[in-house]
Amino acid sequence: MDYDCQTCGACCVDYFGTEGYIQLTSAEVERMRRLALPVVRWQGQLLLGTRRHDGLGGETCCVAFVGEVGRPCACAIHPDRPSACRAFEVGSEGCRFAREAAGLPL
């Protein structure tokens, strides 16, 4: 199956429903703060914050997620997104897991 990230967004949803989602490096922490995005400390890690999410896949999503899971969506900070997001591969096991958790077709 050919996945289109801009009509998916499942990887941006935190199905655990926590206050932080994506682990950040020191440089990314500073960049996120310059972008006025919340950075939270959780179990010794610094994470990009989340916000309430009422759509598919979980209770919270990345604060930079715009749109709706399974419909038109995007990352509001795509050029400045964290390295963990850059490393995430379309069609990977993690991608398929996120899609399944959101109830999207595999």
Total domains, the chain = 1
**Can you tell me which residue has the tokens 């972008």?**
35
* Residues facing residue 41 across a β-bridge: 46
In the predicted structure, residue 1 carries a pLDDT above the cut 80: no
Confidence label for 15 from pLDDT (cuts 50, 70 and 90): confident
Domain-embedded: residue 22: yes
Domain-embedded: residue 62: yes
Query: First-to-last CA distance in the chain?
Result: 7
Domain-embedded: residue 106: no
Domain, as residue range, for 56: 5-101
pTM of the entire structure? 0.90
Confidence label for 74 from pLDDT (cuts 50, 70 and 90): very high
Domain-embedded: residue 76: yes
Residues 6+ apart with CB under 8 A from 78: none
**Residue-wise pLDDT tens digits, 21-62:** 999 999 999 999 999 999 999 889 999 999 998 888 788 999
Domain-embedded: residue 95: yes
